[in-house]
């Protein structure tokens, strides 16, 4: 687990557009989706509301690691990589329910526990 550097947290506050989330299945087939119901949780987790996951949920249940990509308003990319946690109850889930729009079901909270951070090809953490 790596705490997000201050510069990355600042970049997160300047993000624009949806976040891209990637997982893989047990055969190594990638699955990539856009997510917009997403927030930071603490110093080392990016949380995504599971509103309509299907393949993504199956990949998580099979033990997939994950990656998330976001862009800042000045078009600087950041990629976060790490282990995935799936919360159907508890503090991470409760926090997601606070910011996930009520029109979405919020079945669970997916937490990407950050291990590595890149900006372009440069490793930031």
What's the pLDDT score for residue 1? Answer: 55
pLDDT tens-digit readout, 73-110: 999 999 999 999 999 999 999 999 999 999 999 999 99
The answer as to whether 12 is a domain residue is yes
Q: What is the DSSP string of 61-99?
A: HTT--EEEEEEETT--EEEEEEEEEEESSSHHHHHHHHH
Please state the φ and ψ torsions of residue 94, each to the nearest 5 degrees: -60, -40
- Whether residue 125 is contained in a domain is answered as no
CATH at residue 63: 2.30.110.10
Return the structure tokens found at 52: 């309509």
Q: Model-level pTM? A: 0.95
Burial 93-109 (b: 16+ CB within 10 A, else e): bebbeeebeeeeebebb
* d(C-alpha 124, C-alpha 56), whole Å: 26
User: Alpha-carbon distance 109 to 90, whole Å?
Assistant: 10
pLDDT of residue 3: 85
| Separation of alpha carbons 29 and 59, rounded Å | 10
The boundaries of the domain holding residue 95 are 6-120
Cβ-Cβ contacts under 8 Å for 68 (sequence gap 6 or more):
19, 20, 21, 22, 35, 38, 46, 48, 79, 80, 112
Copy the structure tokens of residue 13: 């506050």
Q: Is 3 helix (H, G, I), strand (E, B) or coil?
A: coil
Q: Which tokens belong to 24?
A: 């893989």
In a domain, 110, yes or no: yes
Tell me how many domains the chain contains. 1
In a domain, 1, yes or no: no
Report pLDDT digits (tens) over 22-57: 999 999 999 999 999 999 999 999 999 999 999 999
């Amino acid at each position: 687990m790596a705490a997000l550097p201050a510069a990355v947290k600042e970049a997160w506050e300047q993000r624009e557009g949806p976040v891209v989330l990637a997982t893989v299945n047990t055969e190594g087939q990638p699955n990539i989706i856009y997510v917009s119901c997403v927030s930071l949780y603490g110093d080392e987790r990016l949380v995504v509301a599971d509103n309509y996951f299907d393949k993504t949920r199956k990949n998580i249940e099979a033990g997939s690691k994950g990656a998330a990509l976001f862009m800042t308003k000045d078009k600087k990319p950041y990629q976060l990589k790490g282990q995935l946690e799936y919360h159907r109850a508890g503090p991470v889930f409760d926090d997601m329910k606070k910011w996930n729009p009520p029109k979405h079901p919020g079945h669970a909270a997916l937490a990407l526990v950050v291990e590595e951070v890149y900006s372009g090809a440069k490793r930031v953490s």
